[in-house]
Amino acid sequence: MAYVLIGNSAAAIGAIEGVRSVDLDGEIILFSDEPYHTYSRPLISYYLDGKVQEEKMYYRPADFYKRNRVEAHLGSRVAALAPEKKTITLADGQTVPYDKLLLATGGKPIVPPLPGRELDGVFTFLKWDDVKALEQTLAPGMRTVVIGAGLIGLKATEALVKRGVAVTVVELANRVLSAILDEAAARLVQESMLEHGVKFYLENTVAEVLGRDGKVAGVRLRDGAEIPCERLVIAIGVFPNTDLAQGTAIKVNRGIVVDERMATTVPDIFAAGDVTEGFDTIYQQQRVLPILPNAYKQGFTAGINMAGEVRAYKGGFAMNSIGFFDLPLITAGIVRPEGEGYLSLTQADPGARKYKKVVLKDNKVVGFIALNQIDRAGILTGLMEQEVDASPFLEHLLREDFGYAYLPAAYRQEQMLKGVSGGVRA
C-alpha cells in the first residue's frame, strides 16, 4: 500500500500520524515544495520577532519521518495529478503512483492586482521563506505598511514593531480582526496596538504601490492619501491552494469539497487542511476553516480512512487563540451574530481591557470572545463541540470562576469520570 501525501504542514503530519495509528507497514511518500523539515506556519511571526529560533520552528522532532518511516521529498513540487492512472507527476516530469493520495496543499496568499506589486520590498506573510526574505531586509526605524488587519496582518505587525519597525496598518473593514471580533473587542485590541505606536487606516485600502528605482517608496490609499514606506506586507488573507485539483474530476468550490471521512469526490483521493472546504458545525455548512487544529484533525482523520478504517470527523468551527503585546485573546464560532434567535451575553471592563462575550442560539453556545481573560476558555469550546444545553447555567456563563462546578452534575461527572476524550470525538 502506497500513501502519497502532498504537503508538509499540520494536515500532512496529522495524516502521517493517522495512517500509522492503523497501518505500520504501508509505504508513505511525502512531497513538499518547501525545502524544510515540517515546521509550524503559525510560528513565522514568532520567528520574525526573534522569540523562536530556527531550531524551535519545527513542528515535529528531527527524526519524525524516520520514526514514522516516511519517504519525504522536500523541495520537490508536484505539478499534476492523473487520477485515472492513480499517479502524480512532479515538476521534474517524474511520475509517482499512489494507492491513496492526500492533498494537503494548504492555502496561498491573496494578492490583489495592485499596480506596483512587483516592486522590490513587497512581501506576503505565509511561509517561512516569506519572513526569512523579509527579515534579511529589515532595519530598525524602517517604515512598513501592512495591508490587512486580520490575524496574519496583525501578527506580522506585532513582530515588525518588536523589530523596531514603524508600522501602519491599512484595513478595508471598519475594525481590526473583523472576522473574529466584534466592534467592542476590536476597539480594545486596536487601542493596545496604538499604544505600541502602530498607525491604522480603517475602512480604507491601498490603491497603488509607489516606487522609486524598483523599490517600494510608499503607498497611495483609495482616498488619495499617501504613506511613505520602505516595505509593504500584503496580508489580506489566504485562499485554498486548489491548483492541482483544477481540471480533474475533484469537486472544488472555494476549497476542495470533502466528506466527513475527508474523501474528495474522486476515489482514493483525500484532502485535508486549509485547502479543503469541510463542514462547519456552527454554521452547519461547508466552509473553508484555515486554522491549525482543524487542519491536524482533518489530516488525522484522512490518514485513518486512507489506511482503511472508517472514522468520521463531524467537522469543526473557527477558533483562534492569539495575542498582541501581552493582550491574550481567544475567540470561537459566531461572535457577531446576524439574524434571529441569538442571545449575546457580554461583560466588559474597558479600563482593564477585559472583555467577554458568549453567543448562544437555541440555548447552545455557538461562539464567544474572551479578551484578556482567557483562562479556561476551552470549557466554552467544549460546550460548543458537545452542543450542550446551556439553559441550566446561563446566568453563570460569564462568571470569573465559571467551570464544571456550575454544569449539571450528570454531565460533569460523565465528562470527568470517564476520563476519555474530553469533548473531542475525532
Partner 1 sequence: MKRVYAREEVCAGCKLCEVHCAVAHSAYPQDIVKAFLRQKVKPIARVLVEENRPISFALQCRHCDEAPCTKACITGAMQKDPLTGVVTNEETRCVGCWTCILSCPFGAIKRDETGRKVAAKCDLCSSAGTLPVCVQHCPNDALVFAEEPGWRR
Question: Which residues of the shown chain bind partner 1 in the complex (CB under 8 A)?
Answer: 14, 40, 42-43, 46, 51-52, 56, 58-61, 292-293, 296-297, 300, 319-323, 328, 330, 332, 374-379, 381-383, 385-386, 401, 403-406, 409, 413, 415-426
- For partner 1, the closer of residues 230 and 274 by Cβ is 274
Give 70 or 377: the residue with its C-beta nearer to partner 1: 377
Reported as half-sphere exposure (CB side, CA atoms, 13 A), residue 101 has a value of 27
Q: How far is the CB of 44 from partner 1 (least distance, A)?
A: 11
Choose between 208 and 389: whose C-beta lies nearer to partner 1: 389
* Smallest distance, partner 1 to C-beta of residue 164, A: 21
37 or 361: CB nearest partner 1: 37
CB 206 within 8 A of CB 171: no
Whether the Cβ atoms of residue 300 and residue 14 lie closer than 8 Å to each other: yes
Give the bridge partners for 343, in sequence order: 360
For the bound state, the minimum distance from the C-beta of residue 320 to partner 1, rounded and expressed in Å, comes to 7
CB of residue 170 to partner 1, shortest distance in Å: 26
| Cβ closest to partner 1, residue 42 vs residue 109 | 42
Q: Cα–Cα distance between 42 and 389 in angstroms, integer?
A: 34
CA distances from 378 to 5, 360, 422 (A): 31, 16, 10
Pairing of strands 100-103, 231-234: unpaired
At closest approach, how far in Å is the CB of 331 from partner 1? Answer: 9
Cα 185 from Cα 183, distance rounded (Å): 6
Residues pairing with 147 in the sheet: 170, 234
The least CB distance from residue 421 to partner 1, in Å, is 4
Min CB(184)–partner 1 separation in Å: 20
For partner 1, the closer CB: 52 or 184: 52
Residue with Cβ nearer partner 1 (101 or 377): 377
- 86 to each of 19, 93, 233, 250, 269, how far by Cα in Å? 19, 15, 40, 13, 9
106, β-bridge pairs: none
DSSP codes joined into one string, 54-98 = GGG-BSS-TTHHHHTTEEEEET--EEEEETTTTEEEETTS-EEE-
* Nearest distance, CB of residue 225 and partner 1, angstroms: 35
Of the candidates 104, 143, 151, which has an alpha carbon nearest to the alpha carbon of residue 126?
Answer: 151
Strand order in the sheet with 27-32: 70-74, 27-32, 2-6, 100-103, 269-271
Of the pair 206, 379, the CB lying nearest partner 1 is at 379
Q: How far apart are CA 155 and CA 51, in angstroms?
A: 13
